[in-house]
Chain A
């Protein structure tokens, strides 16, 4: 190896906030041992938590949706739940069902986007979806169709797929009639077939061995696969430690964020340990609550049978980040089925929303964004003005686990003799895309920065 000039370890990154954004990676390798793998998130600071202060209690859903155009519904739903919690209001019945329907739409389109456009090309040796459409046109077309079905749900209920306008605290500005929802049914039936085919397709991919040793954190909800509500539940990596839950209001006591110099995203630890949220965590925590159809798909895909372990307090666990694409595909199938179920059972509520009168207080809200648990907390004064806002996105929580994952993969790569920059870049890009941290950081890693000492 040539003698690289040692590079400064402290990189100054012109950059930003606690949102999912652009990323680079810095590796420190000493005598063939990876000392450190650091993800540099350089999305510039956008200060949402700061400028939410002084806003009316009706404003956070529309405002915070602008944190992420990939999962705006997740931001709107977590914000609504937190505000309603502060105001002592519970949204249930058909309004809650409509929220779940909207969220299913986002799951379908966002997970499908990730599967087909970002993740699958890695398994099939293509650079991107354009290349994939040359070699696997039918699969890409199916993906676009499936994504469109998800978008159609969000567009019908929300007005548009990105930053929907119809959501408000207490419910919706306007609730659809049954007749308006009907055209979605046919689309979703086709989508159900497409989702099955997607599961079968990705099940045929080749999955390298890997294991993520982080604790898994997801919401759990009695009787249903948690999406738009639930209680934070942890499956520790150490099997000797029992699974446990904690009240949402204690979230920041358990998930503590710390700022690190190399990234504008804050790092967080769960009870002092590394943790992972997202599809793998959801599947581990609530897999046994999936529908029979989704479970069948999961078994066929080789994910195992969580029902067989349901009584043991631990569901079937998949810790291989490469296989997250399988769980995502199963979740898409489930979301399509859920959407169909909700539409079939839908009765238009008398009013599209319940009143959420402002009052002083603190409220907590968490939902399962496609990428993982998204937590919001707001404090309000007597006039219902925001005095404090706290948002903990999934990417910030996952960053530590992703870095550890990268460290191991690079080490394994080096041990196999794959030490060139190109080889390592490819390896790391794949590893990051496995976790779907966000579309922009998963689609590329512009910069790999390697510091070697010999």
Chain B
């Protein structure tokens, strides 16, 4: 039990950071804001952030950042309680906004998966799916990326403090490539790249390092998936390769794009 409450300092907005099924990378992005960290700590009361602090305080919270996907019965309950305690709820990363890599199970037989990993699967409780937070509670803003980008995270927090909408553009990685002056890896080298359909935020990292984008930020605001598919086929990818390419780091997100009536890629078998 912690010690009694003492006179209150000036009221600062209270931040809560919560983790579901995830790798911790998105939360760690917050700790990686070395230059901004002490400033953020001064502006906000970090009320709940288990990765960084051992004294979690109860809600309500003004801003809640949620990392990770919903993948156990307990998660379903917990995300509802957290939502009830949160004035604004922002999901951070591909796990929380699209189910994450662990959503690969959504296409598989989870009992088979359990048997692969655990000798005594009866000890384990899990859901058959890994779902985004928005499948369970209303979400005020979804920040994409696996992991999220530091600059975008600081923008989201700053925007919240200023009471405005975060300025996170919806365009694709291609825009960032042009801005960086990259040579297009698809046009120049025939390297398959999801840049045209992937949400910007990383600063076009992969093409800058000479590889094709593998979609870790999920779909951009408007995408033309059908136009990209023949290009990837031209560059030697089979239908199955394309399926895996699109459905790994944001498994469910590109599925949603496809389901909005765009033909070209089928995913009957799911990834793998």
Contacts and interface: CB of A to CB of B under 8 A. Distances in A.
A377 interface: no
Contacts of B23: 19, 66-70, 72
B72 A429 contact: no
Contact of B54 (A15, A163, A444): A444
A47 B24 contact: no
A103 to B, nearest CB: 17
A151 B31 CA distance: 11
Interface in B69-115: 71-75, 100-102, 104-105, 108, 110, 112-114
Contacts of A444: 50, 53-54, 56
Name the interface size band of chain B.
35 or more
B120 A16 contact: no
A418 interface: no
Interface stretch (A128-136, A189-197, A307-315, A339-347): A128-136
A46 B21 contact: yes
A422 B3 CA distance: 11
A15 B117 contact: no
B117 A47 contact: yes
B28 A70 contact: yes
Interface string B204-231: 0110111100101000000000000000
Contacts of A128: 52-55
A13 B116 contact: no
A43 B20 CA distance: 8
B124 A16 contact: yes
A70 B24 contact: yes
Contacts of A258: 119
B235 interface: no
B73 A55 contact: no
B24 A49 contact: no
Name the interface size band of chain A.
35 or more
A18 B117 contact: yes
B272 interface: yes
Interface in A110-126: 113, 117, 121
B25 to A, nearest CB: 2
A140 B38 CA distance: 10
A440 B72 contact: no
A432 B52 CA distance: 15
B266 to A, nearest CB: 17
A172 B104 CA distance: 26
A63 B71 CA distance: 19
A68 B146 CA distance: 12
Given A14-B73, A16-B72, A144-B34, A130 B41 contact: yes
A130 B71 contact: no
Contacts of A439: 24, 28, 51
Contact of A14 (B72, B130, B208): B72
B1 interface: yes
B37 A144 contact: yes
A229 interface: no
B208 A53 contact: no
B244 A50 contact: no
B55 to A, nearest CB: 4
Nearest to A144: B34
Contacts of B272: 51, 53-55
A16 B126 contact: yes
Interface in B13-57: 19-29, 31-32, 34-35, 37-38, 41, 46, 50-56
Given A66-B100, A174-B209, A161 B21 contact: no
Interface string A54-90: 1110010011001111101000000000000000000
A190 B209 CA distance: 27
Given A16-B124, A63-B101, A151-B32, A117 B108 contact: no
B77 to A, nearest CB: 9
B125 interface: yes
B134 interface: no
B147 interface: yes
A153 to B, nearest CB: 13
Nearest to B38: A133
Contact of B123 (A21, A172, A174, A261): A261
B63 interface: no
Given A128-B54, A160-B202, A55 B244 contact: yes
Nearest to B67: A69
B210 A174 contact: yes
Interface in A258-304: 258-259, 261, 264, 266
B25 A173 contact: no
Contacts of A259: 118-120, 123
A22 interface: yes
Contacts of B19: 22, 440
Contact of B53 (A53, A127, A165): A127
A69 B19 CA distance: 13
Given A14-B73, A50-B112, A66-B23, A166 B209 contact: yes
A165 B205 contact: yes
A162 B26 CA distance: 8
B176 to A, nearest CB: 13
The 9 closest A-B pairs by CB, nearest first: A69-B25, A54-B272, A128-B53, A50-B113, A14-B74, A51-B104, A69-B23, A50-B116, A144-B34
Interface of A: 12-19, 21-22, 43-51, 53-56, 59, 62-63, 66-70, 72, 113, 117, 121, 127-130, 133, 140, 144-145, 147-148, 151, 159-163, 165-166, 168, 172-174, 258-259, 261, 264, 266, 352, 422, 429, 438-440, 443-444, 446
